[in-house]
Amino acid sequence: MNSVLLAVIGVAMILAGYFLYSKYLANRVYRLEPNFTTPSHELTDGVDYVPTNKYVLWGHHFTSVAGAAPIVGPAVAVIWGWLPAFLWVTIGTIFMAGMHDMGALWASVRNKGKSIGALSERYIGARGANLFLVVIFLLLLMVNAAFAVVIANLLISTPTAVIPTWGAIVVALLIGQAIYRFKWNLAAVSVVGVVALYALILIGNSVPLSLPETVMGIPDNAVWIIILFVYAGIASILPVWLLLQPRDYINGLQLFIGLGLLYGSVLLAGRDMVAPAFNSNVPEGTPSLVPLLFVTIACGAISGFHGMVASGTSSKQLDKETDARFVGYFGAVGEGLLALGAIIATTAGFRTLADWESVYSAFNEGGVTAFVNGGGSIMNAGLGLSTTLSATVLATMAVLFAATTMDTGVRLQRFVVQEAGEAMRLTVGKGAATIIAVAVALGLTFGAGLDGSGGLLIWPLFGTTNQLMAGLTLGILAVMLLRRKRTIVPVVLPMIFLLAMTVYALFVQLGTFYRDSNWLLLVLDLIILVAAVWVIVESIGAMNRARQGEGADDEEVEQASTSQDRSS
């Protein structure tokens, strides 16, 4: 099959989902009202609650949710062939991700912009909120550990990406100075910043850098991982205007350019898919497609992390309730398109089936490296860039995604450590909390050996934890809809499917970890399994109570009556 055809079908399906299904959800299920006073207007404070233009808000939302996961997940999952990954990404985006993200926005907007954690306390019970903290801690831990390994592997396999990766930090530092110290025009600085970033890619392409195979007896990828954690630790303590803010901004611009380049070259190259639609010849040790596919691709199909962003910041900035359709659903569409691009790059970007099979020689092999090489080959054919330059562009893109998520992740983990300290009546300083956050993630990364394989081994666990988070959000949505006596089918069917696959996958993995005597992962798996069963029991209980008519959404009733008073 031709990759252009697949891209066109995929994009058409996802866009049809936006134009048709999201309209149904907006009008019939969530019943978004243009006149509802959103928290951004009701509680305007110029800080958190600020009515924001929907296109700008979509940009924030999309760049916040798009990390390395929509690339890593599909790039690993195509080992079962491109068709299962394609179907899960498209159908998942249309019927699950869009519904979930838009629903999380709606739920939060209807509750004064509260986060999913606070909502779980209200709709599912106090235990739901505790569960939320455990899940969020694990999720951040996994993101930090796994992304460090992904970046280290990329820096080794694509040495040309080393200069642009670290150079991007210098560019970000200069942008921060230019805007805050010298008050230069933002548009001009942005253009110069993006040009400088791509100039660094050109320099990196002609000056590849790599570490010696071992440094003081430590293998090179372990050295990169340590360097990355030191960087993330420092970045998480620095003032945000100095590094994180300009870095996230330039990465956001780069994301739009990267997506454009990738899809443009797919259209121009017109490659055939070399990988099989269904891979019947999977390498030994590959787990079965069901249920692992559904947890391997989380971001790009459905992801609980999106609910955290939607209810954490986006909902407080939503200008009109009806904008939730564009910001939430179309945000998921952007993520789905990124995942689709990753599927095409990792299956159409090889010369022959044998080439593809040699890269995908074992489960968790290939991955992002396949995305970089395969995508590089497509960009070479489509845009005429040299293969190494295209690979450098894509590797830099993947590294920047992962690195911006990782440094923010370490920062968030520091807050979690400090909050946990407060709960235990201990004051944990900024430095100590950062050291704890980094040390725990490092311990996990090197838990399975000095090669850092622990970081990626836990990647399937990221999927299950993330899907559990999504299950929790869907449970809240179902309770809210039941209390309003509306249909819950569009929410409950995906929830049942998601939780069933997550629990199934957790059991499968439990067996694998036991056989491999991997006690660290076994314990983590058990914690998530207990949490998953907990979510299910709590959600069923809450839904039953809601079905019996217990509980009303007081605040909403209050607002409705106030607006009635106002109109009369």
Q: Report the site for other proteins in 249-278 (rule: CB under 8 A).
A: 249, 252
- Tell me which of 239, 384, 429, 549 binds other proteins, using CB under 8 A: 239
Shortest distance (Å) from residue 246 CB to other proteins: 8
135: tokens are 């899940």
**Residue 406: CA count within 13 A, CB half-sphere:** 29
- Nearest CA-CA partner of 348 in 379, 319, 318, 320: 379
Q: Report the site for other proteins in 61-120 (rule: CB under 8 A).
A: 64
Question: How many chain residues bind other proteins (CB under 8 A)?
Answer: 26
Give the span between the Cα atoms of 561 and 568, in whole angstroms.
10
Complex with other proteins: residue 38 or 265, whichever CB lies closer: 38
106: tokens are 């709606």
Shortest distance (Å) from residue 388 CB to other proteins: 32
Complex with other proteins: residue 46 or 212, whichever CB lies closer: 46
- Tell me which of 1, 9, 11, 50 binds other proteins, using CB under 8 A: 50
Q: Report the site for other proteins in 283-342 (rule: CB under 8 A).
A: 313, 317
Give the span between the Cα atoms of 518 and 198, in whole angstroms.
42
Work out the angle between the directed axes of helices 387-423 and 220-237 (0-180°, nearest 10). Answer: 60
Task: Give the range of 27-35, 247-255, 464-472, 528-536 binding other proteins by CB under 8 A.
Answer: 247-255
Q: Using the rule CB under 8 A, is 56 a contact of other proteins?
A: yes
Contact 343, 11 (CB under 8 A): no
Shortest distance (Å) from residue 191 CB to other proteins: 10
Complex with other proteins: residue 114 or 271, whichever CB lies closer: 114
Task: Kindly report the backbone phi and psi dihedral angles of residue 181, in degrees, each rounded to the nearest multiple of 5, phi listed first.
Answer: -85, -45
DSSP assignment letter at 215: E
Give the span between the Cα atoms of 88 and 293, in whole angstroms.
8
Q: Using the rule CB under 8 A, is 59 a contact of other proteins?
A: yes
- Tell me which of 55, 415, 507, 519 binds other proteins, using CB under 8 A: 55
Secondary structure class of 201 (helix, strand, coil): helix
Shortest distance (Å) from residue 245 CB to other proteins: 5
- Tell me which of 40, 60, 117, 297 binds other proteins, using CB under 8 A: 60
Question: Hey, what amino acid is at 415?
Answer: F
Complex with other proteins: residue 194 or 527, whichever CB lies closer: 194
Contact 470, 307 (CB under 8 A): yes
Task: Kindly report the backbone phi and psi dihedral angles of residue 212, in degrees, each rounded to the nearest multiple of 5, phi listed first.
Answer: -60, 155
Complex with other proteins: residue 353 or 416, whichever CB lies closer: 416
Shortest distance (Å) from residue 253 CB to other proteins: 9
Q: What is the largest CA-CA distance in the chain?
A: 78
Give the span between the Cα atoms of 398 and 67, in whole angstroms.
8
- Tell me which of 65, 72, 105, 244 binds other proteins, using CB under 8 A: 244
SS3 content of the chain, % helix, strand, coil (to 5): 75, 0, 20
Task: Kindly report the backbone phi and psi dihedral angles of residue 528, in degrees, each rounded to the nearest multiple of 5, phi listed first.
Answer: -65, -40
Complex with other proteins: residue 252 or 551, whichever CB lies closer: 252
Shortest distance (Å) from residue 60 CB to other proteins: 5
294: tokens are 């559904």
The DSSP result for 339-382, as a single string, is HHHHHHHHHHSSSSHHHHHHHS-STTSSHHHHHHHHHHHHHHHH
Contact 389, 205 (CB under 8 A): yes
* Sequence-separated (6 or more) residues with CB below 8 Å from residue 386: 205, 380
CA distances from 184 to 199, 244, 253, 254, 304 (A): 21, 19, 18, 20, 39
Shortest distance (Å) from residue 430 CB to other proteins: 13
Q: Report the site for other proteins in 25-44 (rule: CB under 8 A).
A: none
Q: Using the rule CB under 8 A, is 248 a contact of other proteins?
A: yes
Complex with other proteins: residue 191 or 530, whichever CB lies closer: 191
Shortest distance (Å) from residue 317 CB to other proteins: 7
Shortest distance (Å) from residue 520 CB to other proteins: 34
Shortest distance (Å) from residue 256 CB to other proteins: 11
Complex with other proteins: residue 175 or 339, whichever CB lies closer: 175
Complex with other proteins: residue 317 or 518, whichever CB lies closer: 317
- Tell me which of 16, 23, 33, 53 binds other proteins, using CB under 8 A: 53
Give the span between the Cα atoms of 443 and 144, in whole angstroms.
11
Q: Using the rule CB under 8 A, is 47 a contact of other proteins?
A: yes
Complex with other proteins: residue 189 or 397, whichever CB lies closer: 189
Complex with other proteins: residue 153 or 317, whichever CB lies closer: 317
Binding mask 179-208 for other proteins (x = CB under 8 A): x------xx--x------------------
Task: Give the range of 82-90, 240-248, 381-389, 513-521 binding other proteins by CB under 8 A.
Answer: 240-248
525: number of Cβ within 10 Å: 25
- Nearest CA-CA partner of 526 in 138, 235, 241: 138
Contact 314, 65 (CB under 8 A): no
Complex with other proteins: residue 190 or 559, whichever CB lies closer: 190
Complex with other proteins: residue 50 or 353, whichever CB lies closer: 50
Shortest distance (Å) from residue 151 CB to other proteins: 22
Q: Strands 218-219 and 214-215: what pairing?
A: antiparallel
Complex with other proteins: residue 252 or 421, whichever CB lies closer: 252
Shortest distance (Å) from residue 41 CB to other proteins: 16
263: tokens are 């899809």
- Nearest CA-CA partner of 139 in 412, 375, 486, 519: 412
Shortest distance (Å) from residue 549 CB to other proteins: 38
Binding-site ranges for other proteins (CB under 8 A): 46-48, 50, 52-53, 55-57, 59-60, 64, 179, 186-187, 190, 239-241, 244-245, 248-249, 252, 313, 317
